[in-house]
Amino acid sequence: MASKENIAKLASIYAGLVFGIYWIPLRALGDAGFSGAWSPLMLNAFPLTFVCPVLIYRWKTFVPGRLRFHIGGLLAGLAFVLYANSFMYTEVIRSILLFYLMPIWGFLLARFVAGEVITPVRWLSMALGLGGLLIIFGVDVGLPLPRNIGDWMALGSGLVWAVASLMMLTDNEDAINYGLAFFLWGTLGAALMAYIASIHGLAPTPNWSMVAPILPWLIPLAILVVIPAGFAAVYGPTQLNPGVAGLLFMTEISVAAVTAALFADEPFGIRELLGIILISLAGLAEPLFNLIHSRNRKIKNDLHRIH
């Protein structure tokens, strides 16, 4: 079990790192003519295409009598699509900040639904994470409250992901199936959002002849980056408390803040650096505490055997 937890923690950190640059191909798709909600649809549909053979192979274990499983997969896919869409309708930093209030919802859900205790180190992690978020956002601007549709998508995605994470943790389902459900329901949700955005004038329907020029970079991105990160993102919550998984995903904030400053001309200075340090410490607090505790216990056991 311990090894599974360690793998899940590494998977969560990896997913956070990858999705910290996820906004870049989303914006690139927007520049290529797939504006607004059409960009997340493209970046979900192509990975689904390549995991379809696995989905077909596992169909019998994937579909029959699996309502709870599909609700969890639906919520995970919906959370991801809301998050991806938020990048198209608000600033990168605002999307990240509002989504990453999620560990608070995760710890609270785990406490009141699953009965898990919020340990002192988790209180510390939440305090560090919130402190980092507020420093990056800036007290001169105020609390990161939603002010546009992209902000609401980011905040909603964090809430939905926290619920999905708790369902995945308590469902004892195969992580591969959850990964498949993540891409399937995410693509269907993205298609629905693109349709709604199109009919309301938020995202004009693209010219589909523009797909061919983007294939040389979109296909490798889907296979080598998005698919592994998607499966990593759902593996963590199947093994970890939602709050722990959320805190480990916070590596995304550091990557997104730096890349947004470099490529989107968003601010990056002392304030952002201090915030990133606090957020990184928030994500590392519990794993480091557990590592130190395990080593101390091993040393004590070794000394006991020697004497």
**CA atoms of 288 and 105, how far apart (whole Å):** 22
Mean pLDDT, to the nearest integer, of 30-36? 91
Mean of the per-residue pLDDT values for the chain?
A: 83
pLDDT of residue 118: 81
CB 203 within 8 Å of CB 36: yes
CA distances from 6 to 248, 270, 288 (A): 11, 32, 12
Per-residue pLDDT at 14 exceeds 70: yes
Which residues lie below 8 Å from residue 17, measured CB to CB, with a gap of 6+? 251, 252, 255
Domain extents for the chain? 2-306
CB atoms within 10 A of CB 111: 15
- Dihedral of CA atoms 145, 147, 151, 152 in degrees, nearest 10, equals 90
Q: What is the 3-state secondary structure (H, E, C) of 7-23?
A: HHHHHHHHHHHHHCCCH
pLDDT bucket at 248, cuts 50 / 70 / 90: confident
Per-residue pLDDT at 115 exceeds 80: no
Half-sphere exposure of 7 (CA within 13 A, CB side): 11
pLDDT of residue 184: 92
**pTM as predicted:** 0.81
Per-residue pLDDT at 232 exceeds 70: yes
Tens-digit pLDDT profile for residues 121-148: 888 878 887 787 777 666 555 665 677 8
Report which DSSP code applies to 139.
T
Residue bearing tokens 């995202």: 203
Task: Report residue 247 as tokens.
Answer: 């805190």
Mean pLDDT, to the nearest integer, of 237-260? 78
